[in-house]
């Protein structure tokens, strides 16, 4: 019987020859992760078990990234709780401020998540790692506590939904635009409980960064995981980072899908998702002229070097519109350093933006750019829910880095072509 | 287990940022979280919710973040059960893991109104509208998950698994 890439990874980690959608299985885990918000709850639950060790101190990653550098006393105490746990349990992959990055930017970069892996994280955007051909999904803190003890977790095998992206992308269109367009098509529960498998010419054309962006937002369609087939680009990305073996899995040509969606990407404009759901995506031409108070470029969705390069290309030699605050957040220390070496940070500062140390910060309304009542932000983050970036009566529009940077120059939502001309 | 309480109605796609905004997540103390429960969906909810309350909501309840703070806030606010047309998957797992009863029943969601009194039989999945006398039937949990619930949540289940290994 044929299987999808998701089913093959699940079967391999359940010790079975094959699995079918709907089946309940127990899977061995290659890595489990949590952050400064979710780890303390997991630690509290884990401590109830009275264990003196986690299943494998090399396979637990703790990344204090949400409210760090500590935004207030209570957040400092959460971070302290994680730090002390990491020390007393000998957690190898604990990342202190200074080494820390946004978890879903950091772990792929560090080679801690690899093709063929089975990963759970107490963070909904754990699905990001599917971009490397891994099965990765978000869970809550109690599931994470159980996984830290057992090194395994139960799953219901999801049905797979296939997305085929034909054709060549237009200038200024990237992974963010493809995923916003897709969520706009199927809705915020359009892939509920399912695996989203991304295929086609445009996916092959995407960089690893663009693929990570797409899989990152699978959760915004309700999916259990987002995944795509590994290839030469995957190999080039992981072979210099991996410290343990990995395996490439591929869907069989006759694997079963519950639904298949096909798109011609040459028809897709840069996208903007209107408040207050990611499914409210529209072509940027329909959002032109909406006046903004803040632009944010960063997050686990778009905080990678390629994103910053796109933004810098547009901001180079230009100035941020005087009405705006623009906050740029490199996803990791490595991204920060690379951006520094390439002169991107100089471009950003000269343009009049703020460049922050890595943090989730404003994406979830934590710190570093909270909105007042009635304010509007355009952001490369992943959620535009009510109150997501601050006051419940503020508004967040979502987009990719090109639209964000172009809009930073004009002060209103703008197609990058308007700032740059037709040249890409 | 029998549940009886007043219905509080919410719409579709109630996300975890509405259930417990991240600005309150610098703590995981259940009482503090409960004080802000559902704040960005209905700022008056935490102040007026009656013990035993039953939240009735549309599709995709609990979408968004994996924060377990969301079901913890709801449980600590005194809510006894959530009935929704569908639940987002991480919220569904979290609710089961912390012992917050949840039922998927679109028929009940359509019929029940704000302020109705309902009685819920979790084992049988029967929801009774005491205001109208109507009954609705939800799909029961799969046996595996029923096992987690019967053992009092996931941590007790893990304790048993660890004993098997020892």
Read off the pLDDT of residues A275-315 as tens digits, 9 standing for 90 and up.
Answer: 999 999 999 999 999 999 999 999 999 999 999 999 999 99
Pairwise CB contact (< 8 Å): B98 & A123: no
Residue A262 near residue A166 (C-beta atoms within 8 A): yes
Q: For A115-139, what is each residue's pLDDT tens digit?
A: 999 999 999 999 999 999 999 999 9
Tokens 């778009």 correspond to A302
Question: b/e map of A280-314 (b: 16 or more CB within 10 Å)?
Answer: bbbbbeebeebebbbbbbbbbbbbbbbbbebbbbb
Q: What is the mean pLDDT of residues B63-75?
A: 97
Interface test with B, best of A44, A51, A140, A216 (most B CBs within 10 A): A140
Contacts of B68 in chain A (CB under 8 A): 38, 41, 122, 140-142
Return the percentage of chain B with pLDDT > 90, whole number: 81
Residue A53 corresponds to which tokens in the numbers above? Answer: 């060790």
Pairwise CB contact (< 8 Å): A365 & B22: yes
Pairwise CB contact (< 8 Å): B40 & A150: no
A262 membership: H or E segment, kind and range: strand A259-264
* CA distance readout (Å), A229 to A4, A183, B106: 10, 20, 37
Helices (H) and strands (E) in chain B, counts: 8, 7
Long-range contact set of residues A51-59: C-beta below 8 Å, sequence gap at least 24? A51/A149, A51/B162, A53/A89, A54/A89, A54/A91, A54/A148, A54/A149, A55/A147, A55/A148, A55/A149, A55/A150, A55/A151, A56/A151, A57/A89, A57/A90, A57/A91, A57/A92, A58/A92, A58/A93, A59/A29, A59/A30, A59/A31, A59/A32, A59/A151
Among chain B, residues having any CB pair with chain A shorter than 8 Å are: 13, 15, 17-18, 21-23, 25-28, 39-41, 43, 59-60, 63-69, 71-72, 86, 88-90, 93-94, 97-98, 142, 144, 153-155, 157-159, 161-162
Pairwise CB contact (< 8 Å): B28 & A41: yes
Instruction: List the Cα angle B10/B13/B16 in 5-degree steps.
Output: 90
Q: Is the pLDDT of residue B56 over 70?
A: yes
Which of A105, A92, A23, A29 is CA-nearest to residue A62? A92
Instruction: List the Cα angle A57/A61/A64 in 5-degree steps.
Output: 130
* CA distance readout (Å), A66 to A97, A101, B72: 11, 10, 19
* CA–CA dist A26, A343 (Å, integer): 48
Give the three-class secondary structure for B110: helix
What is the structure's pLDDT at B1? 64
* CA–CA dist A196, A214 (Å, integer): 10
Number of cross-chain residue pairs from A and B with Cβ atoms under 8 Å apart: 137
Pairwise CB contact (< 8 Å): A49 & B69: no
Q: Which of residues 213-242 of A touch B (CB under 8 A)?
A: 219, 222, 224
* CA–CA dist A68, B20 (Å, integer): 20
Distance of CA A154 to the CA centre of its chain: 23
Which of A408, A406, A14, A374 is CA-nearest to residue A171? A406
Closest CB to B86: pick one of A78, A189, A387: A189
Q: For A169-224, what is each residue's pLDDT tens digit?
A: 999 999 999 999 999 999 999 999 999 999 999 999 999 999 999 999 999 999 99
- Distance from the Cα of B91 to chain A's closest Cα (Å) equals 8
Pairwise CB contact (< 8 Å): A365 & B23: yes
Q: Which of residues 18-47 of A touch B (CB under 8 A)?
A: 24, 37-38, 40-41, 44-45
Q: Which of residues 77-106 of A touch B (CB under 8 A)?
A: 78
Pairwise CB contact (< 8 Å): A387 & B21: yes
Which of A87, A51, A80 is CA-nearest to residue A64? A80
Q: Is the pLDDT of residue B143 over 90?
A: no
Residue A61 corresponds to which tokens in the numbers above? Answer: 């990653």
Closest CB to A365: pick one of B21, B67, B144: B21
Contacts of B59 in chain A (CB under 8 A): 189
Pairwise CB contact (< 8 Å): B67 & A140: yes
- Distance from the Cα of B114 to chain A's closest Cα (Å) equals 22
DSSP string, B14-61: -BHHHHS-GGGTT---HHHHHTTTTTTT-TTHHHHPPTT-EEEE-SSB
Residue of A nearest to B66 (CA): A124
Q: Which of residues 361-400 of A touch B (CB under 8 A)?
A: 364-366, 383, 385-388, 392
Q: Is the pLDDT of residue B99 over 70?
A: yes
* CA distance readout (Å), A269 to A15, A178, A282: 44, 9, 9
What is the structure's pLDDT at A424? 53
* Residues of chain A falling short of pLDDT 50: none
Interface test with A, best of B22, B62, B88 (most A CBs within 10 A): B22
Sign of the C-alpha dihedral, residues A99, B68, A128, A283? Answer: negative
Residue of B nearest to A74 (CA): B26
Closest CB to B17: pick one of A45, A66, A386: A386
Pairwise CB contact (< 8 Å): B89 & A122: no
Count of CB atoms within 10 A of residue A329's CB? Answer: 28
Give the three-class secondary structure for A31: strand
Contacts of A139 in chain B (CB under 8 A): 66, 90, 93-94
Pairwise CB contact (< 8 Å): B69 & A385: no
Q: What is the mean pLDDT of residues B109-126?
A: 95
């Amino acid at each position: 019987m044929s299987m999808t890439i998701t089913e093959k990874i699940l079967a391999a980690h359940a010790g079975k020859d094959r699995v079918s959608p709907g089946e309940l299985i127990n899977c061995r885990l290659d890595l489990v992760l949590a952050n400064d918000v979710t780890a303390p709850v997991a630690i509290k639950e884990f401590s109830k078990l009275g264990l003196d060790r986690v299943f494998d101190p090399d396979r637990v990653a703790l990344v204090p990234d949400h409210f760090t550098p500590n935004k207030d006393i209570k957040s400092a105490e959460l971070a302290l709780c994680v730090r002390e746990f990491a020390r007393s349990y000998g957690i190898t992959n604990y990342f202190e401020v200074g080494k820390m990055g946004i978890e879903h930017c950091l772990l792929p970069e560090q080679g801690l998540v690899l093709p063929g892996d089975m990963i759970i994280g107490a963070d909904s955007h754990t699905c990001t790692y599917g971009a490397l051909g891994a099965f990765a999904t978000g869970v809550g803190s109690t599931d994470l506590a159980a996984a830290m003890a057992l090194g395994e977790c139960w799953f219901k095998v999801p049905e797979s939904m296939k997305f085929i992206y034909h054709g060549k992308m237009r200038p200024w269109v990237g992974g963010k635009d493809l995923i916003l367009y897709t969520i706009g098509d199927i809705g915020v529960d359009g892939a509920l409980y399912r695996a989203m498998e991304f295929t086609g010419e445009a996916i092959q054309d995407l960089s690893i960064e663009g693929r990570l962006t797409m899989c990152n937002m699978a959760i915004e369609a309700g999916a259990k995981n987002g995944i795509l087939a590994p290839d030469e680009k995957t190999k080039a990305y992981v072979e210099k980072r991996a410290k343990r073996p990995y395996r490439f899995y591929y869907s069989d040509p006759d694997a079963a899908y519950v639904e298949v969606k096909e798109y011609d990407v040459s028809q897709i404009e840069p996208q903007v998702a209107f408040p207050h759901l990611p499914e409210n995506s529209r072509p940027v031409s329909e959002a032109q002229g909406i006046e903004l108070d803040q632009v944010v470029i960063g997050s686990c969705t778009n905080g990678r070097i390629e994103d910053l390069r796109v933004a810098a290309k547009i901001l180079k030699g230009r100035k941020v519109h005087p009405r705006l605050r623009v906050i740029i957040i490199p996803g990791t220390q490595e991204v920060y350093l690379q951006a520094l070496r390439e002169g991107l940070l100089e471009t950003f500062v000269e343009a009049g933006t703020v460049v922050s140390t890595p943090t989730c910060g404003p994406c979830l309304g934590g710190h570093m750019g909270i909105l007042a009542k009635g304010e509007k932000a355009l952001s490369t983050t992943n959620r535009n829910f009510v109150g997501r970036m601050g006051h419940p009566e503020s508004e967040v529009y979502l987009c990719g880095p090109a639209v964000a940077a172009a809009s930073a120059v004009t002060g209103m939502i703008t197609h990058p072509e308007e700032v740059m001309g037709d040249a890409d | 287990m029998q549940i009886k309480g007043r219905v509080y109605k919410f719409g579709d796609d109630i996300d975890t940022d509405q259930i417990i905004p991240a600005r309150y997540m610098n703590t995981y103390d259940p009482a503090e979280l409960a004080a802000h429960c559902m704040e960005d969906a209905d700022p008056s909810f935490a102040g007026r919710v009656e013990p035993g309350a039953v939240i009735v909501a549309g599709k995709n309840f609990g979408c968004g973040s994996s924060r377990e703070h969301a079901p913890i806030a709801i449980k600590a606010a005194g809510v006894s059960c959530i009935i929704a047309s569908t639940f987002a998957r991480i919220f569904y797992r979290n609710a089961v893991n912390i012992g917050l009863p949840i039922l998927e029943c679109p028929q009940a969601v359509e019929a029940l109104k704000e302020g109705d009194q309902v009685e819920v039989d979790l084992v049988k999945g029967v929801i009774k509208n005491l205001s109208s006398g109507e009954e609705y039937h939800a799909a029961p949990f799969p046996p595996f998950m029923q096992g987690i619930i019967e053992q009092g949540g996931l941590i007790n289940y893990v304790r048993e698994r660890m004993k098997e290994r020892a």
